[in-house]
Structure 1
Amino acid sequence: MPEPAAFRSHSSHWGAFDAALTPAGLAVRPDAGDPAPAALLRNVPAALDERLRVLAPYARRGWLERGPGPDPARGRDEYVRISWAEALDRAAAELDRVRTRYGNTAIFGGSYGWGSAGRFHHAQSQLHRFLAVAGGYVRSVNTYSSGAAEVLLPHVVGDHAPIERPTTWAVLAEHTGHFVCFGGLPDKNAQVNAGGVTRHGMAEELRRAKRRGARFTLVSPLRDDLADDLGADWLPLAPGTDTALMLALCFTLVERGLHDEEFLHTHCEGFPELWRYLSGSVDGVPKSPQWAEARCGIPAGKIVELAESMAAHRTMITVSWSLQRSRHGEQPLWAGVALACVLGQIGLPGGGFGHGYASMAGIGAGSLPFPLPTLRRGLNPVREFIPVARVADMLLHPGEEYDYNGQRLRYPDIRLVHWAGGNPFHHHQDLARLGRAFTRPDTVLVHEQFWTATARHADLVLPVTTTLEREDLGAARQDAALVAMARVSPPLGEAKSDFEILSGLAKRLGVEHEFTEGRDERQWLEWLYESWRAKLPPEADPGLDFAEFWRKGRIELREARPEHVLYADFRADPHRHRLPTPSGRIELFSRRIASFGYDDCPGHPTWFEPEEEPGFPLTLVANNPATRLHSQLDHGAESAGAKVAGREPVRMHPGDAAARGLSTGDVVLVRSPRGSALAGLVVSDAVRPGVVQLSTGAWFDPTAPEVATCVHGNPNALTRDVGSSRLAQGCTGQLTRVEVVAFRGEVPPVRAHEPPVPG
């Protein structure tokens, strides 16, 4: 009888788990202590599917034969297998050529994405550490997830506290009387957390609040953005009109004397300027419920009723990250802060506002009061940067000037893109344009585990191990465990870790010791762990050396995460606990932002009429998927099981489907002014009329351009590549205008999961 499989502890962004290799393949079981394990664990075995893995180094034929330079064949060329020695020699020589001839400002360190949950094998940290010791690199700032918020919040409240330190779920479950959820609180997003999560607890905290009698209002065009069992009142507003509704709620509260005048006077800056706009003194248009009804589709009487309920209860206003991923995305967040200020409940247990609840599992879970083991990235000598969502602009328009957060900047002339971790052909918008942008550099060097669209646009593709094939430390600031991520499988093919690859490049460039500091991977893990332990307060020390910790597989972090109320100290004494804003208060009118003179982001929350695109009557919501983390493991069981006709499902209201003669299961063509995509239709009354919903993350498949820009259903084949505003230049991929029609003709196969090299 065979020996039972040896399960080893491991972790991922969607949860801790145990795994073992068995004759039937990889077996995965959720962490025993997790009350609500993520369904995404069903995708994990696909990480070891050799059919999609990059199993050896490859070079693009055109680059190999003609040498570096812009090439329109990039993205469509053949690949030639080469040895590791040749791959590293060529990569090092090209890095040296570019930095010598053009300077390090011609190198873009393009690592962006969730990558590994491990603290050491974090692709961005590894790549940026290497490029820093090699002379520096152009970097990106902010995130696709919350880029507009990351720039706006420091102007309004002084820092990122509403994201990083919001009122904790335990407080909300006990004290909140009315949750008003702009963009919802979708449990699908709370499956994941950067760095990992050992206990998924948000859903139970919301149910606890419901049992206590809390009321829920869902403000979203999608009914399932909040769990059915919470019994929410659904306000299916038109996508992109949350700002109008928020401004009308502010107007109603003040007009009816339900506002907190003292709080606005003592804790806020600029309410008189904001009120002049709300009342219509500025433009002659009062931002009344009737005005908002014409824009968001919510009846004026319902808006008044909501305002009265918010004033009568301890109310928490939640604003999802999705709302600021759109044109003028700064405005719904700023208006949400203003609405909470008008109510005057900021700093009270269960009241106020928070940004990003349910966008990740850790938001609202509380943070550890001490740091975690972290790999030092080193000092980057190059100061140039770009907002992360402007990568295509940078590659296509070197030397062009642009505005960002009060600065006038210039795009650098990038000759070499070095990418490790993440998939820009998932995160970015207008993928046809991004493909054109990737043809411009001299060389694109990519570390990849799978044959993603990013790998298929590279000149050198270097195969990387997954977390299952290496050792690491798994932990997150919003969790209470440190997990020994044991190696479960030997590396597939010739795959190496990013650290091993970069060590080989560093040796060839003469900076090996600066990069490795003389340690191998296991020595780095021990050093990170013991250095971390040495800095802990005595009461938080786990009392285990590295060898003991590794044998045990996991330790609970002893210091409990305290309950927290956002801005409680500021509320109690705004003079002693000033916010780090120019006024020391919440800025409802920002003189600094106003001084920038941006017509697309003035000095107070403002409504902008949507930009029309004639001929495209539907609004597409491109939200995060429920079946995977972004595009990771799109071929996994949970992700593949949700496909319709082998493509990403697109949801549409029954009335819109009937008007177009469409039914569930049809393959449809979704068109926008920028491109098109084939998708599988699902008819659902959980979607507002006039709206279609197509999640991101289907691997980009442009193999039949005569039929569609993407035949697999990636919505970023449709979205517009433009910044949220000149203030933040954030991602705007959440919403776009489309039309949907039945696809007529022979349906092309999906080839995104077929490697471009022989098996």
Structure 2
Amino acid sequence: MSSATRRTATQWGVYDVDVVDGRIASVRGIDLDPDPSPIGDTLVDGVHSLRIERPAVRQGWLDGGPDRARDRRGADSFVEVDWDVALRLAADEIDRVRTERGNEAIYGGSYGWASAGRFHHAQSQLHRFMNVIGGCTRSVGSYSTAAAQTILPHVVEQWYRMELEQTTWSEIADGGELVVSFGGLPVRNSQVSYGGITRHEVGDGIRRAHDRGVRFVTIGPQRSDTPGYTDHRWIPIRPGTDVALMLAVAHVLGTEGLVDRAFLDRCTVGYERFEPYVRGESDGIPKTPEWAAAITGVPADVITGLARDMARHRTLLNASWALQRAHHGEQPYWMLVVLACMLGDVGTTGGGFGFGHCNEGHIGSDGRRFGWAALPQGTSPITSIIPVARIADMLLSPNQPFDFDGHRLTYPEIDLVYWAGGNPFHHHQDLNRLVAAWQRPSTVIVHEPWWTPIARFADIVFPATTAQERIDVCMSSHDPYAHVMEQVVEPPADARSDHAIFAGIAERLGLGDAFTEGRDERAWMEHMWERSAERARADGFDLPSFDDFWAAGRYELPPAAEQRAAWLVDFRDDPAAHPLDTPSGRIEIFSDTIASFGYDDCPGHPVWLEPYERLGGALADRFPLHLVSHQPATRLHSQLDHSEFSRRHKIDDREVVRIHPDAAAERGIADGATVRLFNDRGACLAAARLDPDLAPDVLALPTGAWYAPAEPGVVGSLELGGNPNVLTRDVGTSSLAQGPSAHTCLVEIEPFSGEAPSPNAYEPPPFR
């Protein structure tokens, strides 16, 4: 028996991996990590099981026919072929489409969570390949923060800067008094961080703030969205109505003389155009606590008391990312900024506003930031883009116009989808609509290690290596450490890295040298390190040589020469000398830019807009429960859902939906029972778990269960594993951001009668 211990890095932590006879036996957090994520256990069997062993081609596509049997995509059997055949088929199809239809007809789909490795980053590899062959249509933004990424640059600053610079937990502990979090502080989400995370410290940061006397208020439908050790006050609210509550708080502040007029005059523009709306002078509806109570379900006296509490104490207002993943999701983020400006705590230590504290592990951390070099991607000659959550719209409505952030664009006519990294059958909304849209292109090519839903919906599938089967470097701009990622285990005999796959296709297109530039994979890593060293010297420090870094296994950035000032403190002190990146240089309570777009669903200042469905609305008579589809605690999105660790937290391989005991009793639902969730968009099965810490008219079903339709490829088929995105609606947040609106979703639930079919997601597809 042979054994070894090797180090790997993931988006949820850095681990020492024990390998016995070529298989992962156990996974342990490294000594630097005070609170390693248990998600590491997904690697133990998840890396090895359900692998795509050889290149495979969908039977109907291979056999040809008028439309290459597109309607069988997702339900067809596969034929295994050798690498030369698969690479030639892919190269020929790419060449056909770019010759006949132009590169705009190719959609390069990817999502950046595939690996924490800086070189083997599937999205970067895909974009480099596509740019080498002449470009493609691609997406902008993210499913996580699309509305935030679009609205906040008009109001405050660019999103990437806000993520890195906003208020830290140390600052909250040092100077804060009250944290009011809309959507809570879901510490489970802080297990992960884009690009990797070395130290999980969010929990300790919150504890320190609590121990120093900071009070916490959670406004949301789930008490458990903030850890119990904060002794937080929970204010249940109907999902999607936060803006109404914020407006009522603003009304109290205004009518009781609690507004910091000096801060508004010095650091903001447009309050004089917003205030009449709050008072009701512009639309005839004063935004009183009584008005908000009818919408939110929060009593008027609670709203009034909350407003006074905020005004008496230095307050940090935080909004979970979930708030902007809803219809009109731009509004709560904009309104949160306005409310913080009215309180006047912006730019103070521990006060002001923040977005996504606890939504990723790096937000609110103190570590030094550094912009490590990435794989050079080149420049695309194709300018065609779509907002990331508009994939189905693009496929179903080619050549149709759409609005996005002040621009009038047109959906291209896509004939080839090339996907490497990510799973749209997890991230996207209304999966029945996506299934219909996915039949439109002539060809879908996918890189995947496992038989995930996206692999099953492909025509050509390339078996990709996992991060544990290749060397790489973990260098996250959010993290003060860099790590060598060792090859932990040997890959399956026929698996290749994304880079090797793209290099093989590029060679067959006569572009091999342009893609690789004569470098092997390690040489590319060394090249990225050398470019990072140039940036480091400009930042005032020196990196070790690549060989020394590789021998040491990790590198820690030196402390910054000066301690970072609290976020926006310089702006607060002197907005003229330290202007923001907005048209006025100040925080824009009213935006002339946004107003000029003429969008009815996103006017020039934050407003309450009725969502397409909500509790208390017209549709609630038929579907009286609001579905919250939060991030899971046992995996990152849908990654490694087939692992034993993920599956042990399910019941009969079905995801667990939490339901209030009163709602369960009303419907005859017992704890652990199989239930059916449904609305007009679809239906899925799940396992019920009674939870008194939910609002009575709310269900909570985590995302990430692998899509498991009872009839694969059939639109409207009953989903068997508890994937909430057969229930969510596929419509943009607004004309401004066109982000996903998954958290605006009404459903009904009932016991499932008869014998429930077993989910079929964890089995390979049929082969000829």
Query: Which bin holds the TM-score, normalised by the shorter protein?
Result: over 0.9
**Segment of structure 1 superposing worse, 575-584 or 719-728:** 575-584
* Corresponding position of 1:118: 117
**TM-score normalised by L of structure 1:** 0.97
Matched, 1:625 2:632: yes
Counterpart residue identity of residue 330, structure 2: E
Structure 2 CA distance, aligned partners of 1:335 and 1:367? 29
Q: Matches of 1:101 and 1:631 in 2, distance apart?
A: 36
User: Considering only aligned residues, what root-mean-square deviation do their CA atoms show, in Å?
Assistant: 1.7
- What residue number does 2:469 align with? 469
In structure 2, distance between residues paired with 1:303 and 1:246: 9
CA deviation map 1:309-330 (0-9, x unaligned) = 1111111000111000000000
Match of residue 504 from structure 2: 504
Equivalent residue of 1:72, what SS? helix
Q: Match of 1:725?
A: 734
Aligned to 1:681: 688
One-letter amino acid of the structure 1 residue matched with residue 250 of structure 2: C
Classify 1:369/1:635 alpha carbon distance in 2 versus 1 (closer, same or farther; 3 Å). closer
SS in 2 for 1:309: helix
Flag the 1:590–1:541 CA change in 2: closer, same or farther, 3 A: closer
**Aligned pair 1:716/2:725, yes or no?**
yes
Q: Distance in 1 between matches of 2:177 and 2:564?
A: 18
| In 1: Cα distance, 2:409 partner to 2:717 partner | 36
Instruction: Indicate if the aligned counterparts of 1:108 and 1:416 stay in contact, CA closer than 8 A.
Output: yes
User: Of the candidates 644, 647, 652, which is equivalent to residue 651 of structure 2?
Assistant: 644
User: 1:693 maps to which residue?
Assistant: 700
The 4+ residue runs of structure 1 with deviation greater than 6 A are none
C-alpha separation in 2, matches of 1:520 and 1:559 = 33
Match of 1:148 in 2: 147
Tell me how far apart the structure 2 counterparts of residues 493 and 53 of structure 1 sit (CA, whole Å): 11
Contact 1:165 1:366 in 2 (8 A): no
Query: In the alignment, is the contact (CA less than 8 A) between 1:678 and 1:708 conserved in 2?
Result: no
Alignment of structure 1 residues 400-419 onto 2, 5 Å: 400-419=400-419
* 1:107-506 equivalent positions in 2, closer than 5 A: 107-160=106-159, 161-366=161-366, 368-506=368-506
The whole-number CA distance in structure 2 between the counterparts of 1:450 and 1:264 is 54
Deviates more, 1:361-370 or 1:495-504: 361-370
Measure, in 1, the Cα distance between the counterparts of 2:475 and 2:71.
Answer: 42
Counterpart contact for 1:366–1:478, Cα < 8 Å:
no
Deviation at 1:540, TM superposition (A): 6.2
Q: 2: CA distance between counterparts of 1:629 and 1:98? A: 34
Distance in 2 (alpha carbons) for counterparts of 1:377 and 1:534: 19
Contact kept in structure 1, 2:77 and 2:767, CA below 8 Å:
no
What is the rounded CA distance, in whole Å, between the counterparts of 1:25 and 1:391 in structure 2? 37
Aligned to 2:16: 18
Match of 2:46 in 1: 47
Instruction: Indicate the residue corresponding to 2:755 in structure 1.
Output: 746
Report the alpha carbon displacement of residue 757 of structure 1 after superposing the two structures with TM.
3.8
How far did 1:19 drift?
Answer: 1.1
Whether the 8 Å CA contact 2:659–2:698 is kept in 1: the answer is yes
The alpha-carbon distance between structure 1 residues 179 and 576, as it changes in their structure 2 partners (threshold 3 A), is same
* Residues 511 and 230 of structure 1, relative CA distance in 2, 3 Å threshold: same
Alignment of 1:60-79 (within 5 A): 60-66=58-64, 71-79=70-78
Residue 69 of structure 1, CA deviation: 5.1
Are the equivalent residues in 2 in contact too, given 1:387–1:730 (CA < 8 A)?
A: yes
Aligned-pair CA distance for 1:542: 5.8
Q: Which amino acid aligns with 2:551?
A: R
Task: Work out the CA distance in 2 between the residues paired with 1:306 and 1:636.
Answer: 44
Q: For 1:563 and 1:362, how far apart are their aligned partners in 2? A: 16
Contact kept, 8 Å, 2:108 with 2:130, in 1: the verdict is: yes
1:594 aligned partner, one-letter code: A
CA contact (8 A) 1:622 1:735 kept: no
Once residues 380 and 407 of structure 2 are traced to their aligned partners in structure 1, the CA distance between those partners, rounded to angstroms, is: 21
C-alpha separation between the residues in 1 aligned to 2:56 and 2:741? 34
Q: Distance in 2 between matches of 1:228 and 1:708?
A: 40
Q: What's the offset of the Cα at 1:504?
A: 0.3
One-letter amino acid of the structure 2 residue matched with residue 554 of structure 1: R
Return closer, same or farther for 1:469/1:61 CA change in 2, 3 Å cut-off. same
Asked if residue 6 in structure 1 is aligned to residue 4 in structure 2, the reply is yes
Q: How big is each residue's C-alpha offset from its partner over 1:320-375, in whole Å with a ceiling of 9 and x where there is no partner?
A: 11000000000111110111010011001111001111111111224645321311
- Whole-angstrom distance in 1 between the partners of 2:370 and 2:126: 26
Distance 1:504 1:622, change over 3 A: same
> Which amino acid in structure 2 is aligned with residue 655 of structure 1?
D
Distance 1:725 1:144 in 2: 14
Query: Which is further off, 291-300 or 413-422?
Result: 291-300
CA distance in 1, matches of 2:540, 2:13: 23
What is the match of residue 602 of structure 1?
603
| CA-CA distance at 1:27 after TM superposition | 2.1
Shift of 1:48: 2.3
Looking at structure 2, the residues matched to 366 and 344 of structure 1 have their Cα atoms a distance apart, in angstroms, of 24
Residues 166 and 564 in structure 1, CA contact (< 8 A), matched pair in contact too: no
1:28 aligned counterpart, secondary structure:
strand
CA distance in 2, matches of 1:70, 1:123: 29
Range moving further from structure 2, 328-337 or 632-641: 632-641
Q: Which runs of 5+ in 1 are unaligned?
A: none
1:262 CA displacement: 0.9
Given the two structures, how large is their TM-score scaled by the length of structure 2? 0.96
Structure 2 match to 1:635:
642
The residue type equivalent to 1:588 in the other structure is I
1:661 matched to which residue of 2? Answer: 668
Distance 1:157 1:371 in 2: 22
Distance 2:681 2:728 in 1: 7
- SS where residue 70 of structure 2 aligns? coil
Deviation, structure 1 residue 730: 0.4
Q: Deviations over 1:171-212 (max 9, x none)?
A: 112111000011111111000001111101111011001111
In 2, the alpha carbon distance for the partners of 1:578 and 1:25 equals: 52
Say whether the 8 Å CA contact 2:465–2:491 is kept in structure 1: yes
- 1:72 partner amino acid: D
Aligned-pair CA distance for 1:541: 4.8
Q: Is the 8 A contact 1:47 1:466 kept in 2?
A: no
Structure 1 window deviating more from structure 2 (609-618 vs 226-235): it is 609-618
3-state SS of paired residue (2:187): coil
CA distance in structure 2 between the aligned counterparts of 1:549 and 1:25, rounded to whole angstroms: 25
1:275 deviates by: 0.6
How far is 1:512 from its partner?
1.0
Match of 1:737 in 2: 746
For 1:188 and 1:551, the matched residues in 2 are separated by 34
Q: 1:583 to 1:544 in 2, by over 3 A?
A: closer
Asked if 2 retains the 8 angstrom alpha-carbon contact of 1:617 and 1:739, the reply is: yes
Deviation string 1:8-45 (CA, Å, 9 cap, x unpaired) is: 12100000111131147432111111011112111122
Aligned to 1:755: 764
Q: How far apart are the structure 2 equivalents of 1:545 and 1:163?
A: 30
Q: Deviations for 1:403-422, whole angstroms, at most 9, x for unmatched residues? A: 11111111000000000000
Mapped contact 2:13–2:196 kept (Cα < 8 A): yes
| Secondary structure in 2 matching 1:536 | helix
Query: Structure 1: which amino acid aligns with 2:58?
Result: R
